[in-house]
Structure 1
Amino acid sequence: MTAYTPPAADATAEREPATGTRSERRRAGAAAGDGPAGSAWLAFLLPALVALACVVPGLGDRQLWRDEHATWWASSLSWHDLGLLIDHIDVVFTPYYAAMHLWIMVAGDSPAMLRVPEAAATAVSAGLIGLVGRRMFAVRTGLLAGLLFAVVPSVTRYGQEARPYAFATMFALLATLLLLRALDRPGLKPWTLYALAVAATGFSHLVAMSVLAGHLWLVVLAKRRGDRIAGYAFAGAVLLGLSITFPMVAQGSGQSGQIAWNVTTTKDLTDFPETLFGSWTTGALVMGLGLIGLLAARRYAVLLAAWAVLPPVLTFLTANQLHLFLPRYLLFTIPAWTLLVAAGVTRLAGRLEPGARRGAGPQVLGAVLVTAVVAGYAYVAWPGIADAKKDLPTEPDYRAAADVVAAGQRSGDGMVFNGGMSERRAMAYELRDRKAPKDVLMEWTPQQNGGYGATECSRPARCLTGVDRIWLVSSIADGRPPLTGMNEKTAALLEKDFKAVRTVKLNHVLVRVLERA
């Protein structure tokens, strides 16, 4: 077995997994750690703080959208009702909903508090990119990659969203870092931690498990360098991680119909850089520079390419069967792109720094180049970050609708819903701390149905007996009649026995007051 030889003293030199005797691996691990512990703290903290600075301001300003309403609804259920829900739908989000249930018990369910865990996961992800880049290449490579990640507009967008995508990114990065450490310093503990990180990645989002394809390349590199146990240890750790998540995956395969609405077209593919990164400019810059960075990544090029490219390619090719080609499902690929960009930029900066004997000028020039890349990209990305904090333009303005209802309701009023934008759940959230009109058409609650949807009265005349004033909340607000698509019996009864006395048109939602004629 050959001993590991540290790379040359180059600011951009890649770190290799160590082989050889225990003492040799320990010395090589110190080299792979790239300097004193202070550099690790720097590589982690600076990107994490910048990510927090982007994500935390305005954390609760943007109103929740339909998927976040689902998070609130599921996470606010009793444990019994949550069990009924995941038995029918969203079993793949069970760990996330359970964790959010505990969080809501402690922190409450305001928009800001619902998003604090995701904001924290985003900051940790930026820091982990710094550590991964430091271990693969050098401290400033990790710093640059983490800082670029922190100012990607979509990172802010999903760092301010109560959904598990930021956690999928964080655990995919953690698994990568732990694998690098396990290959540097093999042992039961490092490989066990890696197996747990694999399981956590699967629990956060199944698509993120595709990062394992890139991990396999690291194991191939280790075997080429004489590590005889890397393949066996990797296989055992992955099998352990998969076995932990297998029950959830098995049950979730029977619930795949819940995302059958996601029909992918060629336009979705051409728009992918924009939707993944938050704007065309930032997406084109990162992907373009990332492709160039493949030439600088050297032995890690296959890992980063597989991490960045393989998941979107696979999900697009299987879109008609699995319906998983959604940019938010692929947020975890952004770190691979920023690592590629950082590898290319710092490699170029290293070319500008041929050695200390030539004086400080070239070193300063290289540092200026790295700083300029971060500053320039932040300047280009800033408008996208600001847009990411705004209400989604295609989502109904339920917050304003709830304000209209709360301000104008009277005792004995009822409320009915129409449309396909989760109106009942959204209004339940927006009116959760205020007295709301009775949901007069609901015969079976979502909890009783073990899902997100209620069952409405089969005999609406009976349910509307004694109700003389109704609030209609309809997402059919594009010029069509607001009762379009409603149950025929209910729509006919409302049109016959009630008349509209007030109509308020909001963004993609209409609020109408109906009084019995």
Structure 2
Amino acid sequence: MRRGGSLWRDEAVTYDMARRSLPDLVGTLAEADAVHGLYYLFMHGLFQVSGDLDPLLVLRLPSVLAAAAASGFVALLGHRLAGPRAGLLAGIVFALLPPVQRYAQEGRSYALVCALVAWASYLLLGAVRSGSRRAWAGYGAVLLTACLLHEFAVLAALAHLVALPRRAGITVTLAVGAGLAPLAVLSMGQSEQVGWIGGPGAGAVLGFAGVTLLGIGCAVLVKGPLPRLALPLLILPALLLLLLSLIKPLYVDRYVLYGHLGTALLVGAALDRLLRKRPVIRLTAAGTAVAAVLPITLDLRTPQSRTDNVTAIAQAIGQTDADAIVFMPSRRRVWTLTDPGALHGMRDLALKDSPATSHTLYGTEVPASEIRVRLLATERVVAVADPAGQPLDRTTQEMTKRRVLDRYFVECGTRQLQGARITVHARPGGC
């Protein structure tokens, strides 16, 4: 769970937001990242009561417990829909899926959303069977909580409607939508935050197609009501998000991680059916599949498995001998949020107001003209940037940083790290 003490940038944001004072946190959510607001408030409370516990443990333990709970609910769903052995196998399959393992050990909301959608799915079966208002209300409350943790959980409600259409289900879905509406309106005003998302690439489309074909293939083998719930959960949320991305790119696989609840249910039920015939051969095949997943499982527990390593980057910055720093682009200031001491007195040349003070994720920067003046008044500066080949921001501030460093400074040395490039610049003759 510790991954060698490493963090990646999204977890660094969680850590920073959760450690802000409550007024600063609420003020920030009014301006940015409201979509994760309930999760940040939950983590803020958790850090408040955790005392001197290991921060990484506090950051990731909710996701670990949530993934375990989700596995349990998958097992219960499989038990109810296809029998006890199918349920047990489905729970095991869910826990072994690489995407689930990844987000089970990250300080983000996705595992919690998975657990709540799994719980809501289980409550849905009970509500359909009993028809009581209390059961439907419980289902709606859990589903709304999932949606408030991440808005795209609302796509699970649509999958539920397709799977088990009921008049009460429509009413509950409308109520969930009404409860989610204020957050949706607020987050739409912050849509520039998802401007980094590009259109779905071939890998995303092929990955979705592959999992869908696997699910359909398993559904062919499975008898009974299970595919009726599992297939819509597996297919619809991801498909709808992919289609929506044709208008505005929004598809990121972790946003619909809960779709793998359907994957696990179908694979577990199919394994149950196959194991009834020639169990020795089937068990051998299952063991081979687990062995194939093992290298991925081990890799996901290393610092190299993520986009970057905030801990290593902050340490490398702290080892430089410059007296000033610029972040290129400014959002890479996230790399020092968990360890401000890494700057060891270096002046952040472009910074106007800190993240907490400005109620932003990464702070605000002074105008381009002031950045130029500050850079030219500096003899030695370290530039912290994305790896070479990454798209360059075209704002005036970012272009000014690059232009001044290229024209008036020379590179004294560059250190390449996972997901980052740290370069010390000096005025000519100053290296």
Compute the TM-score of the two structures, normalised by the length of structure 1: 0.72
Instruction: Check conservation: 1:214, 1:302, Cα contact below 8 A.
Output: no
Instruction: Check conservation: 2:307, 2:418, Cα contact below 8 A.
Output: yes
Is 2:80 aligned against 1:135? yes
Instruction: Check conservation: 2:197, 2:249, Cα contact below 8 A.
Output: yes
Listed as ranges, the matches of 1:192-211 within 5 Å are 192-211=137-156
Instruction: Check conservation: 2:221, 2:273, Cα contact below 8 A.
Output: no
Secondary structure at the aligned position of 1:415 is classed as: strand
Distance 1:298 1:256, change over 3 A: farther
Instruction: Check conservation: 1:272, 1:327, Cα contact below 8 A.
Output: no
User: Which residue in the other structure is 1:418 paired with?
Assistant: 328
Instruction: Check conservation: 1:118, 1:161, Cα contact below 8 A.
Output: yes
Listed as ranges, the matches of 1:10-21 within 5 Å are none
User: Which residue in the other structure is 1:438 paired with?
Assistant: 347
Render the CA deviation track for 1:355-405: whole Å, top value 9, x for unaligned: xxxxxxxxxx65x57754543321121112122223357834543332233
Aligned AA for 1:401?
I
Instruction: Check conservation: 2:200, 2:249, Cα contact below 8 A.
Output: no
| RCO comparison, higher one (Cα < 8 Å, 6+) | 2
Listed as ranges, the matches of 1:66-465 within 5 Å are 66-107=9-50, 110-217=55-162, 219-220=164-165, 231-265=166-200, 267-273=202-208, 287-288=213-214, 290-350=216-276, 352=277, 366=279, 371-372=283-284, 374-392=286-304, 395-409=307-321, 413-419=323-329, 422-431=331-340, 435=344, 437-458=346-367, 459-460=370-371, 463=374
**Alpha-carbon deviation of 1:452?**
2.0
**Alpha-carbon deviation of 1:266?**
5.3
Render the CA deviation track for 1:63-101: whole Å, top value 9, x for unaligned: 322222222232222222222322222212111111111
**Alpha-carbon deviation of 1:473?**
1.8
Percent of residue pairs identical: 24
User: Which residue in the other structure is 1:20 paired with?
Assistant: none
Instruction: Check conservation: 2:90, 2:264, Cα contact below 8 A.
Output: yes
**Alpha-carbon deviation of 1:300?**
3.3
Distance 1:495 1:329, change over 3 A: closer
Distance 1:431 1:409, change over 3 A: farther
Structure showing greater Rg:
1
**Alpha-carbon deviation of 1:340?**
1.1
Render the CA deviation track for 1:98-141: whole Å, top value 9, x for unaligned: 11112223346744432221111111111110011111121111
Distance in 2 of aligned mates of 1:370 and 1:189: 43
Distance 1:460 1:312, change over 3 A: closer
Render the CA deviation track for 1:157-214: whole Å, top value 9, x for unaligned: 1112222111121111100101112233343432221111111121122222222234
Instruction: Check conservation: 1:293, 1:345, Cα contact below 8 A.
Output: no
Distance 1:235 1:273, change over 3 A: closer
Secondary structure at the aligned position of 2:303 is classed as: coil
Which stretch of the first structure deviates more once superposed, 186-195 or 427-436? 427-436
Secondary structure at the aligned position of 1:160 is classed as: coil
Distance in 1 of aligned mates of 2:231 and 2:181: 27
Distance 1:132 1:449, change over 3 A: same
Q: Provide the alpha-carbon RMSD of the alignment.
A: 3.3
Instruction: Check conservation: 1:418, 1:474, Cα contact below 8 A.
Output: yes
Secondary structure at the aligned position of 2:381 is classed as: strand
Secondary structure at the aligned position of 1:271 is classed as: helix
Distance in 2 of aligned mates of 1:302 and 1:470: 60
Aligned AA for 2:240?
L
Distance in 2 of aligned mates of 1:216 and 1:461: 57
Distance 1:244 1:469, change over 3 A: same
**Alpha-carbon deviation of 1:332?**
0.6
Instruction: Say which of 392, 417, 424 aligns to 1:506.
Output: 417
Q: Which runs of 5+ in 1 are unaligned?
A: 1-55, 221-230, 275-282, 353-364
Distance in 1 of aligned mates of 2:98 and 2:148: 25
Q: Which runs of 5+ in 2 are unaligned?
A: none
User: Which residue in the other structure is 2:6 paired with?
Assistant: 63
Instruction: Check conservation: 2:37, 2:149, Cα contact below 8 A.
Output: no
Which stretch of the first structure deviates more once superposed, 318-327 or 182-191? 182-191
Aligned AA for 1:423?
R
Distance in 1 of aligned mates of 2:302 and 2:201: 27
Distance 1:480 1:331, change over 3 A: closer
Distance in 1 of aligned mates of 2:29 and 2:414: 38
Distance in 1 of aligned mates of 2:227 and 2:170: 22
Distance 1:323 1:484, change over 3 A: closer
